[in-house]
Chain A
Amino acid sequence: MSDSTSEHPMIDEVERKVKPPRRVPTSLVIGVSLVFVFIVVAIIGPYITPYPFDQFHFADRLAAPSAEFWLGTDRYGRDIFSRVIHGTQLTVTMAGTGTIIGVSIGLLIGLFSGYIGGWFDEILMRLTDIVMSFPALLLAMLVVAALGSNEINAVLSIGIVFIPKVARVVRSATLGLRNVQFVEAAEVRGESNSYIIFREILPNVWPPVIVETCIRLSYAVLLVVSLSYLGLGAQPPAPDWGLMIAKERAFLVSAPWVVFAPAGAIVLLIIAVNLLGDGMREYLAARKTGDE
């Protein structure tokens, strides 16, 4: 019988396996590439448009799509292709900033609320209940109406609408980790609350936060264009997609391109962000179960 156990039985060295690359879901590939294209267009868009977004061509008012004006022109003869490309920057930045504000504040609230618990949690969660009881668009409109309608306030209102939703998701993920043994081990060591929250818990709540961020982003796009459609976001003559639809909708029948072009851009962006979110969820779930 083996008696070699008494001294120093070194664990058999098992070669560190180079894991085969994980399967990346197709939806993630498409979503990432589309979102990437939108970001590139947002950055370089203003420099590559055939015409300035506010240049009038009175001879070609409401012209149909042609080689000269790829997506036609509006009632002042402005090139719609240039306006849509130019407007990408506005929509993407507003939706992105709003989401970042909502997610970062929601993340902090969720982490602290979930970890500290007790009365602190109770009060924060009742407050989020109040905010969540308003429909998203209505609340955003209230905020903008109170603060004044411009781009910055629209972004702020999106952030405020998102905070409670993100906080809920993060809180439930935190609650699931709160009594896991590695967190308790940190408590026994006497680590501070902020160490436990940011160093032990936060790295483990990233997956749901990333997925939630993608979902929020697609809602943010919808909110941005809705607000500007209602005249509560960007103001004319800004080439905002929502604003374009609102201002030109009277010509929907005679010159459908004036509405379809910005609407198409909205649909494409939302599809891209949703694919990104779905793909991300699938990818992260596979990572969780894939590692034995």
Chain B
Amino acid sequence: MNSQLAEGNVTVLEPEEQTGKPVLTIRDMHISYFPRGKEVKAVRGVDLTVHAGETLALVGESGSGKSSVAFASMRGLDAAGRVMRGSVHFHDTDVLALNPSELRRIQGSRIAMVYQDPQTALNPGYRIGDQIAEAVHEHTDMSGAAVRERVLDLLEEVNLPDPVGFYERYPHELSGGQQQRVVIAMAFACNPELLIMDEPTTGLDVTTEAHILDLVTKLKESHGSAILYITHNLGVVAKFCHRVAVMYAGQIVEQGPVSRVFTAPAHPYTRSLLTCIPRLDLSKHDRPLNAIEGRLPNLSELPPGCVFAPRCSESKDQCLSDDIEKVQIDGDEDFVRCVRWNDISTFEFDRNARKTRPKVEASAVEPILDVDNLQCLFRLRRGIVEVATGQGVRNVHAVDGIDLKLGRGQTLAIVGESGCGKTTLGRTIVGLQTATDGTMTFEDKLLEGKARNRSNDVRRRVQIVFQNPDATLNPQKSVGETIGRPLELFGLAEESARETRVADLLQSVNLPAHYASRYPHELSGGEKQRVAIARAFAADPDLIVCDEPLSALDVSVQAAILNLLVELQKTTNAAYLFISHDLSVVRYLSDQVAVMYMGRLCEIGSPEEVFVPPYHPYTEALLSAISLPDPNIDQESIFLEGSVPSPVNPKPGCRFASRCPRKIGDICETENPPLVSYGDHKIYCHIPKEELDKMRPVIRYQGSEDPVV
């Protein structure tokens, strides 16, 4: 058994480490952008110090100015932005005063940067080895064989298998996670003293993210670099960083050690952020999530007083009058920008939110959708050479034999990493794609072929909500036209009544009725998604496929949309097929969870069953990889080796066998896994039931064996 199970906590972070010398010092930084000649004060008065050997997280939602700070500290602002005031020191060097050649000498050799999208950081036309070699060559006096030696060492260090082979590869031959490893290898090529990382794991799957974070932690220790880590993901911060600075609307509202900020957040914004993320021990049956009302203030005309006051539940008159100064909490690097932080009640997670409730047996609910052995293959085009040499037909097995039942008014979540076929499954159900085998029964009717070939009644009752709020609405149509169209098409409201119905629908998604005359570019991302939800509900559907409807939204908006979905389900009794990669969201929203891997189901059951042992080994690995913004839990760390195998003509046996840390033998690679059934909870695995029963919870309350669920 090639078990990779590592015992114990997530990385133990010692707060003492922050006593190192300051590496990067930012003082009173102001950044403005000038779109159409108007000044937008994106960053106002940011003070930040990154000490040697520490990881400082800069967190905030979109528009908070976190990336501007990072770019400006490396003089990388684009033409529209300008540093209005303030200083940036790297050790004792004034970065803003350097001339371009001095700046270049520092960048790359002493300061390195890693950005979100590795594809843009790598030149597609050069071999990756040569690209790393260039970074080494540029900043050291090594040459020839020594450089190559160093590159191979680096490739080895970032855990790429077969460094010699990878040296010769081009970026497109690598997966996203591998590309990001190469970028990290380039960043560490010259032992930088400071590493600036801007959302380096945002586009990656959770299991890959866990790998990358682990890798960066190890490299950081061996190279002794300091890291400025920019992210919106509080879970990653809790797992990976020493100190955290929370930004809101261009200011740091709170800064302090992770251990303090995550357990006793002082600023109301930090508190709201921490409570609007669904936690693993919270479900829709317990209580609604805490969403932050309102939206970011307009940065070109800021009112006096606290920037967060208009959205703050604790604000009083004193918050609105004066500019808010920093208040030190514990040491000069630990502060909060709130006048009332001492007056507001102490922060506590409501651990006991769970109410006892009668468990609804999935089989007790009348199924509205019954998917039986569904298969979607995509045939790859064969080139002339392949046809001539008689090479067989090659199929991508996107969905390969899925059985599901979804009850009326219930939510079935499909979770899995990118490429597991979950989106294809959703698209087949709504009729954007055709199945190659198997059946789908909606009530007593068969769902067949494309939407156009289905009956009007079925089309009306099966709707979809898409992922990307920017693409989901036609930019040339007003909100009223968009929502009114299903009413018109399905004859649900006479022309005279349509306007009132649209207003009702807008009301039901918590938008004011006059939004009907607005166009998509006048709406924020969350508002667009609300309109898309209203459009889906306009048809009065019984089944809505939600294809990652939250993943492009900020966490505070996410919470509000989640609450909305729960509420609408209560009032309309629509069933959701909720496709997501976010396990905490799934935990909150769903009645049933199905875990997918490479087109097959691994495990299905209620969240209370899936999130506790016995697990499918893949579920176990997924749970261990997620980042939770909760320092008071223990989490197992399990690393999956290798990458997802090709979905083209996959091998027989268990799809997960090639990466499974609990593989029991050859049987895994030769025979399809049998169904291990615990009532409604089903696991497809070769491991005997007695073994599965002995599994330990992956996520536990600190110091106990109780699973967090």
Which chain A residues numbered 1 to 46 have a C-beta less than 8 Å away from chain B? 1-6, 8-14, 16-17, 20, 23
Interface string of A280-292 (1 = CB under 8 A from B): 0000000000111
A181 touching B512 by the CB < 8 A rule? no
* Given A188-B430, A189-B451, A290-B36, A11 contacting B290 (CB threshold 8 A): no
Which chain A residues numbered 171 to 197 have a C-beta less than 8 Å away from chain B? 180-182, 184-185, 187-191
A16 touching B518 by the CB < 8 A rule? yes
Most buried by B among A9, A182, A189, A290: A189
A184 touching B289 by the CB < 8 A rule? no
Shortest CB–CB separation between residue A189 and chain B, in angstroms? 6
Taking CB atoms, residues of chain A closer than 8 Å to B522 are 16-17
Stretch at the interface among B380-388, B403-411, B464-472, B674-682: B464-472
Q: Does B650 touch A at the CB level, under 8 Å?
A: no
A203 touching B313 by the CB < 8 A rule? no
Q: Does B486 touch A at the CB level, under 8 Å?
A: yes
Q: Does A204 touch B at the CB level, under 8 Å?
A: yes
B292 touching A2 by the CB < 8 A rule? yes
Shortest CB–CB separation between residue A146 and chain B, in angstroms? 39
A9 touching B510 by the CB < 8 A rule? yes
Determine the residue in chain A with the shortest Cβ distance to B519: A291
A2 touching B560 by the CB < 8 A rule? no
B456 touching A9 by the CB < 8 A rule? no
Taking CB atoms, residues of chain A closer than 8 Å to B450 are 187
B510 touching A11 by the CB < 8 A rule? yes
Which listed residue, B272, B451, B473, B560, touches A190 by the CB 8 Å rule? B451
Determine the residue in chain A with the shortest Cβ distance to B473: A182
Q: Does B38 touch A at the CB level, under 8 Å?
A: yes
Q: Does A200 touch B at the CB level, under 8 Å?
A: yes
Q: Does B452 touch A at the CB level, under 8 Å?
A: yes
Determine the residue in chain B with the shortest Cβ distance to A21: B36
Which chain A residues numbered 91 to 121 have a C-beta less than 8 Å away from chain B? none
A182 touching B294 by the CB < 8 A rule? no
* Given A9-B291, A12-B293, A203 contacting B476 (CB threshold 8 A): yes
A182 touching B472 by the CB < 8 A rule? yes
A1 to B289, CA, bound (A): 11
Determine the residue in chain B with the shortest Cβ distance to A2: B313
A150 to B35, CA, bound (A): 53
Which chain A residues numbered 244 to 265 have a C-beta less than 8 Å away from chain B? none
Taking CB atoms, residues of chain A closer than 8 Å to B475 are 204
A1 touching B313 by the CB < 8 A rule? yes
A180 touching B471 by the CB < 8 A rule? yes
Taking CB atoms, residues of chain A closer than 8 Å to B467 are 181
Taking CB atoms, residues of chain B closer than 8 Å to A292 are 521
A181 to B290, CA, bound (A): 30
B472 touching A10 by the CB < 8 A rule? no
Which listed residue, A5, A12, A23, A181, touches B563 by the CB 8 Å rule? A5
A17 to B468, CA, bound (A): 24
B288 touching A5 by the CB < 8 A rule? yes
Q: Does B275 touch A at the CB level, under 8 Å?
A: yes
B293 touching A9 by the CB < 8 A rule? yes
* Given A5-B563, A9-B560, A188-B451, A14 contacting B295 (CB threshold 8 A): yes
A1 to B292, CA, bound (A): 10
B432 touching A187 by the CB < 8 A rule? yes
A188 touching B431 by the CB < 8 A rule? yes
A188 touching B463 by the CB < 8 A rule? yes
Most buried by B among A4, A6, A11, A290: A11
B476 touching A185 by the CB < 8 A rule? no
A210 to B454, CA, bound (A): 38
B489 touching A1 by the CB < 8 A rule? no
A182 touching B474 by the CB < 8 A rule? yes
Shortest CB–CB separation between residue A142 and chain B, in angstroms? 35
Which listed residue, B310, B471, B474, touches A203 by the CB 8 Å rule? B474
A181 to B539, CA, bound (A): 18
A187 touching B295 by the CB < 8 A rule? no
A191 to B490, CA, bound (A): 10
B466 touching A181 by the CB < 8 A rule? yes
Q: Does B485 touch A at the CB level, under 8 Å?
A: yes
B466 touching A184 by the CB < 8 A rule? yes
Taking CB atoms, residues of chain B closer than 8 Å to A189 are 451, 459, 485-486, 489, 539
B36 touching A23 by the CB < 8 A rule? yes
Which listed residue, A4, A182, A185, A200, touches B293 by the CB 8 Å rule? A4
A-B contact pairs, 17 of them (CB 8 A): A1-B271, A1-B272, A1-B290, A2-B293, A2-B313, A5-B291, A5-B560, A11-B510, A16-B518, A182-B471, A184-B432, A185-B464, A188-B430, A188-B463, A189-B451, A190-B459, A291-B521
Kindly list the 5 A-B residue pairs having the minimum CB-CB distance in the complex, ordered from nearest.
A203-B476, A2-B313, A12-B294, A181-B466, A291-B521
Q: A5-B559, A187-B450, A188-B432 are in contact. List 4 more A-B contacts (CB 8 A).
A: A1-B290, A2-B293, A189-B459, A190-B456
